[in-house]
Amino acid sequence: MPHATPSVSVLGLGAMGGVLAHTLLQAGCAVTVWNRSAERAAPLVNAGATLAHDAQSALLASDLTIICMIDKAACETVLASLGPTSDLGGRTVVNMSTGTVDDVERLAHWADEHNARYLDGGILCYPKDIGAAKTAILYSGNPDAWHAHQQTLTLLAGSPRYLGADPKACTPTYLALYAFYFGAFAAWLEGAVLAASAEVSVDAFKTLSSIMTDMLVDGIDTAANRITAGEYGGEQASVDVHVAGQEVVLDALVSANVPHASTDAYLAYCRMAQSAGMGELDIAVLFNAMQA
């Protein structure tokens, strides 16, 4: 017996939302779209999507609705247009907008009030990587909704991660991963600008950077193991050794007139550990110092 065609509504057709809708269309889903500025929907309608005249119509058109707006506050504003008695009949709402845990709690409560199953989503890529096998989107929330729509959601990211039934699990994890990514990216830019000041091309620096990204992966693994075990022997390189080395890096950045906020931040964390009497311990002990 053939499977029914998945029906999906997408609310919010910005750079990311538009790609989500287009990817679902290409995969053969029946897609309904809605955007506050209706003209953004035109390319998708031309590709086969149905345009809903309001948010409520979009939510009622499909078994699964994906909301992707600039933030969860914008999402709440749109959803507030639905009357308090609107019944979504057990449909699933997945919110992929950025926001806080408090936002998630309000949206999950809204879903309960409107007889909807709620999943919170965190997209860990740029629009160009939507639909790729390696791409990850994090989810948490209603387990029945996840199991019912996992196959459809995997069309958007081939490596999804479900973090459990608590809808609040996704957002802090997603934001933590972006804190890591953008902090590392800012540090790479500092390095690239410093290298450029010595006439090393960005392309050459990119190639050499793989040496350090491999080292970073190993360093994360080692640090996580040390933190889990509570073993902080400084036989590899203590906090004090790291401070001495990074002060040389900072001097080079200052001498080349290169911005150095990332290096300043790293040194500040190291000095925090030194002030707590942890200078002779492994650099992974910064985790403890930062929690104090």
pLDDT digits (tens, 9 = 90+) for 171-187: 999 999 999 999 999 99
pLDDT digits (tens, 9 = 90+) for 192-235: 999 999 999 999 999 999 999 999 999 999 999 999 999 999 99
Q: Structural domain boundaries of the chain? A: 7-166, 201-291
pTM for the whole thing? 0.93
Fold designation for 7-166: Rossmann fold (3.40.50)
- Which residues 6+ apart lie within 8 Å of 88 measured at CB? 59, 60, 111, 114, 115, 116
| 280: amino acid identity, one letter | E
pLDDT digits (tens, 9 = 90+) for 143-162: 999 999 999 999 999 999 99
Whether the domain at 7-166 and the domain at 201-291 fall into the same CATH topology: no
Which residue is listed with tokens 């790479």?
A: 188
pLDDT digits (tens, 9 = 90+) for 10-26: 999 999 999 999 999 99
CATH class of 201-291: mainly alpha
